Chains A and B, each alone.
Chain A
Amino acid sequence: MARKVNRLSPFNVTALALGVAFLYLPIMILVIYSFNASRLVTVWGGWSLRWYQEFFNDRAMLDAAWMSLRVAAVSATIATLLGTLAAVGLVRGERFRGRSLFSGMLYAPLVMPEVISGLSLLLLFVALNAERGFWTVTIAHTTLTMCFVTVVVQSRLASLDRSLEEAAMDLGCDPVQAFLSVTLPLIIPAIAAGWMLAFTLSLDDVVIASFTTGPGSATLPIRIYSEVRLGVKPEINAICTMVIALIAVVIVIASLASKLSSAKAESAAPL
């Protein structure tokens, strides 16, 4: 009898089914409508790639997409580097002066309203007389996304067995060698996941990019946003579907890569 208390009840199953439907139906509807030949949302005019063609003929949209991809790739790479270093400092650095300020600065942006981060960075760039465009948006995105990388890498690093590093050092490695040859291979999956999270977050951001970009260098979300304010356009459905597809590919590659590297790490671990 007692075992029964942990069974799934019909209520649990209903909650789960409704939850998944709520999370996925809107996106699926969007994807399906991106292939609708008709301009009207209510009318199904048959399958068509017309709106995709429209996107590839839209110079301004293409420029914005290219800008976004470059910003996302560069900012994610810098953010991964800095975020990993920050995680190493937080987890392996033990106690040091200014540590709580450091972790506070890294955790706050995770929840900080974007209007505040965007405005404050813009005021800094204006004060520094920096020309606004690619680099200001990239720096702004790096600042936001490195915090996410830090948290992802930090939780992996904290769960690692320290005795591996210590063994490497007892065997004559210096700390840097021990980190590079023992720790780094073990946290590579988390670092890869962090890069991808940073990439997708950057590809997604409207608010911070709006504040920190300059005239003539709009990112894709800024363009989408200004179109969406004017109402639904089938071309936007197509663009959104392609962004979703790109993100799906990135997720699949990352999970494959992390599986590969963790398999390698596991086979290497029992030396």
Chain B
Amino acid sequence: MSTRRIFAQPARYAAIAPYLWMVLFFLVPFGFVLKISLSQTAIAQPPYVPVFDFAEGWAAINAAFAQLSMDNFRLLVSDNLYLSSYLRSLIVAVASTLILLLIGYPIAYGMARLPQRWQAIAMMLVIVPFWTSFLIRIYAWINILQHDGLLNTVLLALHLVSAPVVWLSTDTAMYIGIVYSYLPFMILPLYATLSKMDPALLEAASDLGASPQQAFWLVTFPLSLPGVGAGALLCFIPIVGEFVIPDLLAGSGSMMIGQTLWLEFFTNKDWPVAAAAAVALLVLLVLPLLLYDRLQRRTLEGGR
């Protein structure tokens, strides 16, 4: 016990450098997002009128508070473009998470039932795509889904369709891309809980007269709920802010909030509105992020 304590002190010192790094490059930048989101747009470089300068001290900050501008947030609420992209992000994220669950669960379930030796191989097979580039995997689908791409060629050859189907720039393509990219994030936590389950429980259920279906819904599924929650959070949170997939695969008709932010920042050069969109996105994610943080703590740090 005492040896333990002697070890803890230098271990804490080890945390100082990463701690400072994360405060400077993760926490402090949010302050700037908040600050810019409250300032006025200007045609300048950088394109905003600063609200206040930290260098000028408290007096200046207090004076500046009087002229904080809520204009950008008012714009977000009043303009249909923002509200609809906000709403679309939510719908797409919820729908994708549900599809991911429906597809990921049977795969994770099958993995958990494989013989021990095969389980390790199946794990590898699920993890490797996560290592290969995300952008490349989206691009691979453009190859398949484009007008004269492989999917249309196959469908035409089989006489399933008489003319090429438009796949690219549709919501279908976007959902395919999202499911394809996030599937490993859904499978791994599901597999982790399913593989830890005691097989004796199912045997007991069957001895007590439950059919395999009943056993699944009464025993397996309820016990896998922590995995379902983890997988859903791991997919839902990043999908809400997704930019690359909808930009490359969905139509230009309606945008997700990540696309709106990107457009405001890069095309319209309206940094304050982009920052306000980021704040709005963060507000939407506060609750899921807190849940996720608790979950991570429990899985990584045990019962401490």
Contact = CB atoms under 8 A, between A and B. Distances in A.
Interface in B101-141: 103, 106-107, 109-111, 113-114, 122, 125-126, 128-129, 131-137, 139-141
Given A27-B136, A143-B21, A251-B131, A207 B11 contact: no
Interface residues of A, number: 104
A1 B278 CA distance: 57
A120 B133 contact: no
B234 A151 contact: no
A116 B257 CA distance: 11
A176 B10 CA distance: 7
Nearest to A15: B106
Nearest to B89: A113
A271 interface: no
Interface stretch (B58-66, B70-78, B80-88, B237-245): B237-245
A123 B36 contact: yes
Interface in B1-50: 3-12, 14-19, 21-23, 25-30, 32-33, 36, 46
A211 B3 CA distance: 47
Judged by DSSP, the binding face of B is helix
B300 interface: yes
Contacts of A40: 148
A155 B300 CA distance: 6
Interface in B227-263: 233-234, 237-238, 240-244, 247-248, 258, 261-262
A100 to B, nearest CB: 8
Contacts, number: 297
Contacts of A22: 180, 183
B139 A30 contact: yes
Nearest to B114: A8
Given A85-B14, A115-B278, A119-B33, A26 B148 contact: no
B278 A119 contact: yes
Contacts of B113: 6-8, 12
Pairs A-B, 9 closest by C-beta atoms: A113-B241, A89-B15, A120-B29, A12-B110, A92-B11, A15-B106, A86-B18, A26-B140, A19-B107
16 contacts: A5-B202, A5-B206, A29-B143, A41-B150, A82-B21, A89-B12, A94-B8, A102-B22, A103-B297, A111-B234, A111-B289, A113-B238, A117-B26, A221-B133, A243-B136, A244-B132
Interface of A: 1-8, 11-13, 15-16, 18-20, 22-24, 26-27, 29-30, 33, 40-42, 82-83, 85-86, 88-94, 96, 98, 102-117, 119-121, 123-124, 126-127, 139-140, 142-143, 146, 150-151, 154-155, 158, 162, 165-166, 169-170, 175-176, 178-179, 197, 200, 203-204, 206-207, 210-211, 221, 224-225, 228-229, 231-232, 236-237, 240, 243-244, 247, 251
